[in-house]
């Protein structure tokens, strides 16, 4: 109940910042689709990452990136700032894209890591907020602003896109969030770790009692129905 923490509710597609048990700010978010739902996570944010890379999810590499490379050539990668990486480590080397069998990637026989360099069109926007979870899920900025005008914002690949990443960073850091340089993937420690809870609350308190929201993910069905559907 005490201290500062963040709650991200996929049912309402909102993020709320709390101080000493009281909400002090809130914003819209975009969360995962029904097919790629944002998972339930409890963790702690320790730093803000400026000028982030975007590591393209494997399913998008296979369904989008690789087919476009096959059709349009290696220029497709360069035009979008994509790089092929040797592995998933932080020190991974950049590989020449012509060393990859892109048809094998399309067929699902080869799996590679593709990342997008920081830019105005980078899917992570100008900053991201990572936290330990083992799920590769985090909060981040986004250049795709039109989604926030929608009433139903279950539109991402699982990560949480923020309506105002700069405002969240300002609250976490206690000062104006400014990137130290133009270098990619700069981590700036925040004064104190802030707990973050990704949840899914389809029952909400209201002045009229309890309000039930749409169960977009289908997680509120009785357990016997959930088992039967698998």
Answer left, alpha or beta for residue 145, where phi above 0 means left and psi between -120 and 50 means alpha. Answer: alpha
Q: Which of 40, 77, 91 is nearest to 197 (CA)?
A: 40
Contacts of 121 (CB under 8 A, 6+ apart): 80, 81, 143
Nearest-angstrom CA–CA distance, 209 and 218:
23
- Annotated active-site residue in 46, 58, 59, 159: 159
Ordered DSSP codes for 100-124 = S-HHHHHTTS---EEEE-SSTT-TT
- Annotated active-site residue in 46, 58, 59, 140: 140
Is residue 140 among the annotated active site residues? yes
Is residue 58 among the annotated active site residues? no
Contact 15, 24 (CB under 8 A): no
Task: Report the catalytic residues.
Answer: 140, 159
């Amino acid at each position: 109940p005490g201290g500062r923490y963040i709650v991200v509710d996929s049912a309402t597609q909102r993020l709320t910042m709390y101080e000493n048990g009281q909400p002090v700010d809130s914003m819209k978010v975009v969360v995962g689709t029904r097919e790629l739902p944002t998972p339930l996570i409890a963790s702690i944010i320790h730093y803000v990452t400026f000028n982030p890379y975007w590591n393209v999810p494997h399913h998008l590499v296979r369904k989008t990136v690789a087919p476009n490379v096959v059709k349009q050539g290696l220029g497709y990668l360069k035009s979008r700032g994509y790089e092929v990486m040797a592995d998933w480590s932080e020190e991974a080397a950049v590989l020449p894209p012509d060393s990859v069998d892109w048809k094998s990637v399309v067929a699902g026989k080869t799996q590679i890591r593709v990342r997008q360099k920081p830019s105005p069109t980078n899917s992570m926007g100008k900053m991201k907020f990572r936290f330990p979870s083992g799920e590769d899920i985090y909060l981040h900025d986004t250049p795709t602003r039109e989604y926030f005008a929608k009433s139903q914002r279950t539109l991402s690949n699982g990560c949480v896109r923020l309506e105002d990443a700069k405002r969240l960073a300002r609250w976490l850091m206690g000062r104006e969030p400014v990137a130290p340089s133009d270098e990619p993937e700069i981590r700036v420690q925040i004064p104190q770790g802030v707990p973050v809870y990704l949840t899914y609350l389809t029952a909400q308190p209201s002045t009229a009692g309890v309000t039930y929201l749409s169960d977009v993910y289908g997680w509120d069905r009785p357990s016997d129905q959930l088992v039967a559907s698998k």
